[in-house]
Amino acid sequence: MGNTSMFDSYTLPSGVTLKNRILMAPMTTYSSEKNGDISDDELIYYARRAKSGIGAVITACAYAEPLGAGFEYSIGAESDDRIPSLKKLANAIKDNGAKAILQIFHAGRQSNSKVLNGEQPVSASAVAAPRDNAELPREMTAEEIEKTIASFKEATRRAIEAGFDGVEIHGANTYLIHQFFSPHSNRRTDKWGGSLEKRMKFPLAIVEAVQTAAKQYSTEPFIIGYRFSPEEYQDPGFTMEDSLELVHVLSEKNLDYIHVSLGHFFGSSNRDENDTTPRIKLIQEAIGDKVPVIGVGTLETREDVEKALEVTPLVAIGRALVTDPEWFSKLEKGEDDTIFPAVYVSKKEELDIPDPLWDKIMQVKGWFKVAD
């Protein structure tokens, strides 16, 4: 990327300009209301981080239909009843100077009957996720697949009506779109499964539905991004080669960006320990000249971000912005040495982290650095 500074503006293919190269990464807050409305604590949390000067905020995932919810107290975009709530969220971000991007998703087999009020989770096929206590999902009918595709179009319409600047399609992290792409979870023999080309059909149909909604309902340029995971460690699972095929096709679809979901920005293969090439470099080399790529994963310091921007034009920041809401403004002022290196328990009141997210940070050992 040459001498790119994180403070340089960037114009996406749709014509929307981000004021700099930093986006807030999508992270679950577990803090919405039971019905999927945004809570006041979440509004404060997002507003505070938008206010720090970053270019855009990508929200936690919002489910596009009732069976798409993945956990309790998550954001809903499944009904027009949610539009007033979504509008509050869009405004909390935009009024504080950042572009607002709603991440839309369907959890598929990663959900459970407790979250779904007694309903069985659905997926591409009746194959349980490879984790403890995973429930067996029901295979979706061809009609249900079409309805789910339509639900992403409707969720996009709601995002537009609520005033969001864009949506991010969540095709990563083993949720439903990922499940259709994966030979582990997709054992179908109809047009939605089998060959790599058929396993790509569902993700591509979602992209098309979202783009149709943007054309139909938005009068302004509207950001459409796509997030994906590069490979699966399971066998059968999709490989880096499969993903490069997918992103090659996606790169021709006039998207605003491809967001690569990685635990570590420079992370290498999780299938083959001898393959040490960072996944992000392979993806940038394959499609970077056609579509902007966003990298993410444990970027905490100025040096981390500068190194990352030598590879991709945009980076997403997760934990560092939760740990210190002023992370970006401190970098901008050159006050790097005042950035909080950990979630300080003594500063709980001033961090504006919603209680359920705070509790999760305290419970899950090793997820965040925590200090007194």
Per-residue pLDDT of the chain (372 residues; tens, 9 = 90+): 557 899 999 999 999 999 999 999 999 999 999 999 999 999 999 999 999 999 999 999 999 999 999 999 999 999 999 999 999 999 999 999 999 999 999 999 999 999 999 999 999 999 999 999 999 999 999 999 999 999 999 999 999 999 999 999 999 999 999 999 999 999 999 999 999 999 999 999 999 999 999 999 999 999 999 999 999 988 899 999 999 999 999 999 999 999 999 999 999 998 888 999 999 999 999 999 999 999 999 999 999 999 999 999 999 999 999 999 999 999 999 999 999 999 999 999 999 999 999 999 999 999 999 999
Side chain identity, residue 30: Y
* Angle subtended at Cα 361 by Cα 355 and Cα 365, rounded to the nearest 5 degrees: 150
* Per-residue pLDDT reduced to its tens digit, 58-109: 999 999 999 999 999 999 999 999 999 999 999 999 999 999 999 999 999 9
The answer to whether position 42 is within a domain reads yes
The answer to whether position 99 is within a domain reads yes
The answer to whether position 1 is within a domain reads no
DSSP 123: E
* Per-residue pLDDT reduced to its tens digit, 121-174: 999 999 999 999 999 999 999 999 999 999 999 999 999 999 999 999 999 999
What's the Rg (C-alpha) of the chain?
A: 19
Q: Return the SS3 of 57.
A: strand
How far apart, in Å, are the Cα atoms of 217 and each of 45, 151, 290?
29, 15, 26
Helices 142-161/83-94 angle, 10° precision:
50
Instruction: Map tokens 């309902």 to a residue.
Output: 217
Strands 10-11 and 17-18: antiparallel
The answer to whether position 337 is within a domain reads yes
Active site residue 175: yes
The answer to whether position 4 is within a domain reads no
Q: What is the CATH number of the domain that holds 307?
A: 3.20.20.70
Q: What is the pTM of this model?
A: 0.98
The answer to whether residues 122 and 144 touch, using CB atoms and an 8 Å cutoff, is: yes
CB half-sphere exposure, 95, CA atoms < 13 A: 11
The answer to whether position 2 is within a domain reads no
The answer to whether position 264 is within a domain reads yes
Tokens of 138: 């029901």
Which residue of the set 46, 175, 226, 257 is catalytic? Answer: 175
Task: Please state the domain count of the chain.
Answer: 1
How far apart, in Å, are the Cα atoms of 312 and each of 116, 164, 289, 305, 306?
38, 25, 11, 10, 10
* Count of other CB atoms within 10 angstroms of residue 192: 19
- Residue 338 is part of which domain span? 10-371
Tokens of 321: 């912005």
- Residues present in the chain in total: 372
The answer to whether position 5 is within a domain reads no
The answer to whether residues 297 and 286 touch, using CB atoms and an 8 Å cutoff, is: no
DSSP 63: E
Which value, to the nearest 10 degrees, does the dihedral of the CA atoms of residues 13, 19, 20, 21 take? -30
